[in-house]
Structure 1
Amino acid sequence: MATQLLFYEKAAPVTFKDHGDLSVKTGGTYGFARNVNSVPLTAVEFSAAAAAYPIVFAGEGDAVMPAVILGARAEENLFVDEDGRWSGSYIPAFVRRYPFVFSSSDEGKQLILHVDESFEGCNRAGLGERLFDSSGERTQYLQNLLRFLQEYQGQFARTQAYCKRLKDLDLLQPMQAQFRIAGGEERSVSGFHVIDREKLKAVETDVLRQMFDTDELECTYLHLHSLRHFNDMVQRLAGSSPEAETGTDDGDAAATDAAEPADETV
């Protein structure tokens, strides 16, 4: 459940010299995300994402971030079909920002916009949206894109603060999801954490109030509620077969019976 650049293969800094005639056509396919079983999530997305996917916490140390689980094994995304269409009710911002991404320099003081030149929608035939006009100025599309990525970067920083609080309170515990589908095949997803319900109950009232005021408590309950979607994943795996079952090995953390950016200046 790595949360690195995932589907980015050839990210290059956006410049007029290299991309003055580049156009980008997005939204037609999400085939680039077909081989990832999780993607990072920011806290502001919890409400929408919790309605469709299990939300967990992936990574170690200061690199812990929320993520949505998309598949029951490595290189499997159950929400992208053979034609590259996304079948989930919500598309995470990490996916929507592709093929663009920020990288940081000068110890994070400067953000540099990159584009994955390997993306099939990148072209020099005028299909989609231009990044620069003929005089070298940013197009409205690029301006809007930069605002979107700046907002994403701000939400990413706020999400890091939320994860730090969870770690400081020692609320995260390891979890493994196990799946049994028709025919007896078994799969498992591990390497992530969930919030320990019992430890959450023991958090002091003044800290809970702080979490309530910052919407962190709401995110916490949305995360816990979202874990029920591990059962939905079994249905996607087995075509709603009654023989499919799911289980978790963390006790109360996800008690069910049947059953992981960085990156402006151009």
Structure 2
Amino acid sequence: MARYVALSKSDHRDSGLVAASNRHALTQAVVPVVAEELFQVLPTMPVAFVRASDDAPYELVALQSLQPGVNVYVHTNGRWIGGYRPAWYRSHPFRLVRDESGTRRIVCVDEESEAFEKDAGPDAVRLFGMDGEPTPKTRDLMTFLEKLEQSREVTQALVNHLDEAGLIVPWKISASNPKGEGGHDVNGVYHVDEAAMRELPPETASRLLKNGALSIAYAQLLSEHRLQGLVRLYELRAEANKQAKPADDVDLEALFADDDDDDLKF
């Protein structure tokens, strides 16, 4: 279980990072994404909206499963098999967290992550140098986190515009296992109401076009055909679990014919 604590030179002077798997993402059915990376996300993942409660704002996410507690883009051995890896995962094991006053963001690290070593071994990339200052790697990570947070805030504002225009509605999805059995409705997932978008008053449509919110709306709608890819990944996951097909051999270009796995760099 994640245990985020504030990164500090006093507590983490001897700490470092090591190569690790993606097991921390194994049970995540959705992952937050930002508008800036949608071009990379769309080739392999459906995009949707979720909310923590009825009065909470909608959040832009990529769907990684139609069942809770499952991520079909991560092999059970922890290897990522989904092509592009969203920025949220690439920031692991770090997060920017607001302090108690809510006015300042603090870099925190998950001390329970297998990528983190409190007492760094010889193969670890140190977080602080001998002088107690952040290493170039740590400074790069801090810059990445700041840019990701800025992109998240911009994305959230655009999603809020779509909501205010009445364009986000429940997405009726029915799912079954790879054998076509055990069908169930997927709840708590939302998408853009395409019919309502076509009927927007000209001034509203113009405003959403100028502020960039319509770009997210179109991207979400275009991504919906990726739902079938989730079903096929269920099948590949089942094969890989039986060692009939190693995760390394999964051919995403064949699975998603128009795949583009360019890395997003903030």
TM-score normalised by length of structure 2: 0.82
Q: Which one of 3, 18, 21 corresponds to residue 29 of structure 1?
A: 21
Asked if 1:177 is matched to 2:191, the reply is no
Give the AA of the match of 1:77. N
Alpha-carbon spacing, 1:221–1:135, altered in 2? closer, same or farther (3 Å)? same
| Contact 1:176 1:191 (C-alpha < 8 Å) held by counterparts | no
Give the AA of the match of 2:35. A
* 2:214 corresponding residue in structure 1: 217
Give the AA of the match of 1:140. P
Asked if 1:120 is matched to 2:117, the reply is no
Give the AA of the match of 1:198. A
Unaligned runs of 5+ in 1: 1-7, 242-266
| Contact 2:158 2:212 (C-alpha < 8 Å) held by counterparts | no
Alpha-carbon spacing, 1:29–1:209, altered in 2? closer, same or farther (3 Å)? same
- SS at 1:182 equivalent: coil
More strand by share: 1
TM-score normalised by length of structure 1: 0.82
Q: Which one of 124, 127, 134 corresponds to residue 130 of structure 2?
A: 134
Q: Deviations over 1:210-232 (max 9, x none)?
A: 32233322221111010111111
* 2:259 corresponding residue in structure 1: none
| Contact 1:72 1:188 (C-alpha < 8 Å) held by counterparts | no
| Contact 1:40 1:94 (C-alpha < 8 Å) held by counterparts | yes
| Contact 2:161 2:213 (C-alpha < 8 Å) held by counterparts | no
Give the AA of the match of 1:79. Y
Asked if 1:49 is matched to 2:41, the reply is yes
Return the offset for 1:83: 2.3
Q: Which one of 4, 9, 23 corresponds to residue 2 of structure 2?
A: 9
Asked if 1:18 is matched to 2:14, the reply is no
What are the residue-to-residue correspondences of 1:178-217 with 2, within 5 Å?
178-180=174-176, 181-182=178-179, 184-217=181-214
RMSD (Å), alpha carbons? 1.9
| Contact 1:41 1:93 (C-alpha < 8 Å) held by counterparts | yes
Return the offset for 1:142: 0.8
Question: Which range moved further: 77-86 or 56-65?
Answer: 56-65
- Rounded to whole Å, the distance in 2 between the matches of 1:128 and 1:215 is 41
What are the residue-to-residue correspondences of 1:87-126 with 2, within 5 Å?
87-105=81-99, 107-123=101-117, 124-126=120-122
Matched residue count: 233
- Rounded to whole Å, the distance in 1 between the matches of 2:180 and 2:218 is 35
| Contact 1:73 1:188 (C-alpha < 8 Å) held by counterparts | no
- Rounded to whole Å, the distance in 1 between the matches of 2:10 and 2:237 is 52
Question: Segments of 4+ in structure 1 off by > 6 A?
Answer: none
Asked if 1:147 is matched to 2:140, the reply is no
Give the AA of the match of 1:83. N
* 2:241 corresponding residue in structure 1: none
Asked if 1:39 is matched to 2:35, the reply is no
What are the residue-to-residue correspondences of 1:251-266 with 2, within 5 Å?
none
- SS at 2:170 equivalent: strand
Return the offset for 1:62: 4.3
Unaligned runs of 5+ in 2: 239-266
Return the offset for 1:171: 0.8
- Rounded to whole Å, the distance in 1 between the matches of 2:196 and 2:124 is 50
Give the AA of the match of 1:11. Y
Return the offset for 1:29: 1.3
Return the offset for 1:107: 4.0
Q: Percent identity?
A: 22
